[in-house]
Structure 1
Amino acid sequence: MSFTSGAHGRLTRLDGFGTDPGSLSADIYIPENFPPNGPLVVVLHGSTQSAESYDLGSGWSTLADECGIALLFPGQRKSNNALGSFNWFKSGDIHRGRGEPLSVRQMIAKVVDDHAIDPSRIFVTGMSSGGAMTSVMLATYPEVFAGGAIIAGLPYRSAGNLVEALVRMKGYGGPSDRTLDALVRDASEFTGRWPTISVWHGDNDKTVDSSNADSIVRQWQRLHDVEGPPTRVEEVDGFPHRVWCDDAGQPVIEEYVITDMGHGTPISAEGAEGLGEAGKYMLEVGISSTRHIARFWGLTK
C-alpha cells in the first residue's frame, strides 16, 4: 500500500498521491465494513483545525463505520497558510489543474484506485475555508463529484486576494447574480449533470456572514435550472430548511439556516443518532449536519 500509519487518531496518512502542487497533506479512513464499489466523502477542515480535530468534532468516521463510507481528509500546512486555512482566494489555488485543487484531485484518484471506490459516488464537504475550498473543488472538477456540502463557506471566485476575501467574509461586495453561475461554468469544460449542493450556515455567524450562503444558492440555481422560490420549505429538527427540486422532482439544492448559531459546523452529539464532539467551531445545536448531509447524498442506511 502507499500509505503509512501515524499518530493521527483514527486516520491513516496517505502518501505518494501525485505531484502535489498545493503541498497539502492527506489522511484517510477506510472502515472495516467498506463494501466493494463503495462511496467516498472528501472532508475539508476549517482554519486552525486539522483533519483529526475536524473528524472528532463532526463524527464523520463514526458515520463511516455505520454506513460503510470511505473518507479522505486533505490537510493544509502552516507553511502554506499561517492559520492552516485552505487558500480558496489565491489565484494559484482556485483553478483546475493547479495548486490545491489539483492536489486534492490527485488524492482522490489515489484513493479511488487503492480502494475500488465507485466513481459515481464521490462527494465533498468542508467548513469555513474548507467550505470555500469545497466551492472551488465543485467548480473546477464538477465531473468528479456527485454532490457537495458547503458549511459556513463562500461562493466560488467571490474573492481573488486576501483583502477581497476578508471583505467578502463580512458580506460586502462580491460577484453579481448575473455572473455567479458563469464563474462556475468557466472553471471547466463540463457539460454533464452538475453536483447537488447542500448549504449550511448560522444566522449569527460573525466570521463569515450568512449572506454568503444565499450567494452560494444563487450561484448554483442557474446551473441546475431551478431559479426562483424553493420547491418546499419546512423545518428539520427545529431549523428552517429550503429545497429546490429539478423537473423530475429530485432535490438538487438544499439550504439549512441554523438559528442563533455562530461560525462553525452544526453537530448533535447526544442521543441514539448522536455524532461528533463539541469544540472550537464544532457547535452543539441539536442537529447533525454530518448525518443530514449523508442522508441528502443517499449514503445512510
Structure 2
Amino acid sequence: MLDKPMQDQRLIEIARFGSNPGSLKAWLFLPSIMAPNTPLVVALHGCTQTAEGYAAGSGWSQLAERRGFAVLYPEQQRSNNANLCFNWFEPGDIRRDAGEVLSIRKMIGHLVQMQGIDPERIFVTGLSAGGAMANVMLATYPDIFAGGALIGGLPYGTAVTVGEAFERMQGRNPPDAAKLQSTLKGASKHAGRWPTVSIWHGTHDQTVRPSNAEQVVTQWSGVHALGEVSRTETINGHTRKVWLDARGREAVETWSIQGMGHGVPLAASGDEPIGKAGPYMLEAGISSTVRIARSWKLATDADVREAEAGGSTDGRKSQDGTASIIERALRYARPRENATGAAPDGKIAKVINDALRAAGLMK
C-alpha cells in the first residue's frame, strides 16, 4: 500500500511491504515517466539524517526523474537507534533474513512485484552508517544486487558492539585480510556472479578513517579473485583506482576525494547541479551520484559533464539528456501514478508535454 506523500519531495511512504523485523520506514521515488522493467537504486542515509534530507542533498531523486529509474529510501527510526544510524554492527540486524537487512529486502521484493522493477538491475548505495549498511546488503544478498557504492563506509562484519564500531571507524584493530574475506563469503551461500563495488572516501575523513576504504577493497578482492590494481587515474583532482576481474569487468573501484572530510562528494556549484550542498553533502567538484549512476548504466557521459561543468551554454539540457526525456515520453507515455500499464489516451499529451517542459523545450 502506498500513501502519505512527503512534502515537497514527491516521496511516497510504503506503508505495508511485508514483514518488518527491523522496524524501518520505507520511502519511494518514482519518476514521472517510467519504462517497463525500471531499475531500482536503494539509497541509505547516514546518521542524524532522514530519507527526505538524503534525497534532497544527494540528488538521487533528481537524477532518477531525468533518467527514469526508481529510488527506494529506507529510513531508520529513533526507537532503533537514537542517532538514526542504521545498525551496521548489530549481529541481529546484519544477518541474512533477519533484522534490518530483512526489512530492506522485503521492501525491494515488494517493489519488484508491485512496480515492475527489473530484478537484474537493483543497486544499493549509502553514506557513513548507510554506506556500511549498503555493504551489509551486498554481503548478505549478493544474489539481489548488480552493484553497490559505499561513501565513507566500512567493511562488513568487523564489529559486533558499539565500542568495536568506534574502533573500526577510527581504523583501529581491523581484522586481517583472510578474516575480512571469509566474513564476507560466509554471509551467504552465494555461488553466482558477485556485485560490483564502488568505494568513495575523503582523504581527510576523521569520522570514518580512509583506511576503511582499503579494507573494503581487501574484503571484496577475495570473491572477485582480484590481483593488483589494474588502472590508476586522476579525475578533477581526485584519484580513481580500478580492479578488473578475470573477464575484464571493472569489479571494484575506489575514489579518493582529495581534501574532503566525511560526506557525499558533490559538484553543487555548477549551473545544472545534481544534489545540494549542506551538512555531510560536500562540494568537491565531482558528482559521486552521477558517476555512480553512470557506472551502473543509469546515467550517461553527458550527465556527468553537465553535472560537473555547469551544463550547456544556453541553459538547456544537453542534447543527449533532451533526447532521452523525449524518447521515454514517446515510447512509454506512462505516468508514475499508473504503474501497471500505458497511460490512458487522455493523459498521453500531458505526459509528453511535461517531458518537453523538463527538457526546456516548452514553457
Inter-partner Cα distance in structure 2 for 1:247 and 1:67:
31
State the SS of the aligned residue for 2:117.
coil
- Amino acid corresponding to residue 255 of structure 1 in structure 2: T
Residue in 2 that maps onto 1:45: 45
**CA displacement at 1:272 relative to structure 2:** 5.0
Q: Is the 8 A contact 1:135 1:154 kept in 2?
A: yes
Q: Secondary structure of the equivalent of 2:192?
A: coil
Distance apart, 1:5 and its partner CA: 2.5
Distance between the aligned counterparts of 2:141 and 2:289, measured in 1? 22
Distance 1:273 1:255 in 2: 25
Shift of 1:118: 0.8
Match status 1:295 vs 2:326: no
Q: Distance in 2 between matches of 1:300 and 1:265?
A: 18
Aligned to 2:13: 13
What does residue 158 of structure 1 align with? Answer: 158
The residue type equivalent to 1:103 in the other structure is: S
User: Is 1:146 aligned to residue 130 of structure 2?
Assistant: no
- In 2, the alpha carbon distance for the partners of 1:273 and 1:119 equals 31
8 Å contact from structure 2 (residues 23, 77) kept in 1:
yes
Contact 1:264–1:282 at 8 Å: present in 2 too?
yes
Give the structure 1 partner of residue 353 of structure 2. none
Query: Do structure 1's residue 249 and structure 2's residue 248 form an aligned pair?
Result: yes
Cα distance between partner residues in 2 of 1:5 and 1:67? 24
Aligned identity (percent) is 50
Does 2:214 match 1:214?
A: yes
Shift of 1:227: 2.4
Structure 2 unaligned regions, length at least 5:
301-363
Is the Cα contact below 8 Å between 1:41 and 1:122 reproduced in 2? Answer: yes
What CA deviation, in whole Å up to 9, does each residue of 1:102-150 have, x standing for no partner? 0000000011111111100000000000000011100001100000000
1:28-177 aligned at under 5 Å gives the runs 28-177=28-177
Moved more, 242-251 or 51-60: 242-251
**Larger C-alpha radius of gyration, 1 or 2?**
2
Higher helix share: 2
Are the equivalent residues in 2 in contact too, given 1:159–1:174 (CA < 8 A)?
Answer: no
What pairs with 1:190-209 in structure 2 (closer than 5 Å)? 190-209=190-209
| Structure 1 SS opposite 2:83 | coil
* TM-score (normalizing by structure 2): 0.81
Equivalent pairs, count: 299
TM-score computed with the length of structure 1 as normaliser: 0.97
Query: For 1:242 and 1:74, how far apart are their aligned partners in 2?
Result: 30
- 139-148 or 6-15: bigger deviation: 6-15
Q: Which moved more, 1:110-119 or 1:2-11?
A: 2-11
> Take 1:87 and 1:41, find their aligned partners in 2: how far apart are those partners?
20
**Counterpart residue number, 2:23:** 23
Q: Deviations over 1:139-174 (max 9, x none)?
A: 001100000000001000011110000111011012
Equivalent residues of 1:88, 1:94 under 8 A apart: yes
Q: Distance in 2 between matches of 1:236 and 1:292?
A: 11
In 1: Cα distance, 2:284 partner to 2:138 partner: 27
Moved segments of 4+, more than 2 Å? 5-10, 270-273
Q: Say what the alpha-carbon RMSD is for the aligned residues.
A: 1.0
- Describe the superposition over 1:224-274 as per-residue Cα deviations: whole angstroms up to 9, x where unpaired: 11122x111001222100011122221111100001100111011233552
Distance 1:227 1:150 in 2: 21
**SS of residue matched to 2:251:** strand
Residue 87 of structure 1 and its aligned partner are, at CA, apart by 0.3
Question: 2 CA distance for matches of 1:273 and 1:256?
Answer: 23
* 1:279 aligned onto 2:278: yes
Aligned partners of 2:57 and 2:222: how far apart in 1? Answer: 34
Partner Cα distance (1:160, 1:3) in 2: 35
Code of the aligned partner of 2:63: L
Distance 2:192 2:247 in 1: 16
Q: Distance in 1 between matches of 2:171 and 2:213?
A: 10
Alignment CA distance shift 1:199-1:273 (3 Å): farther
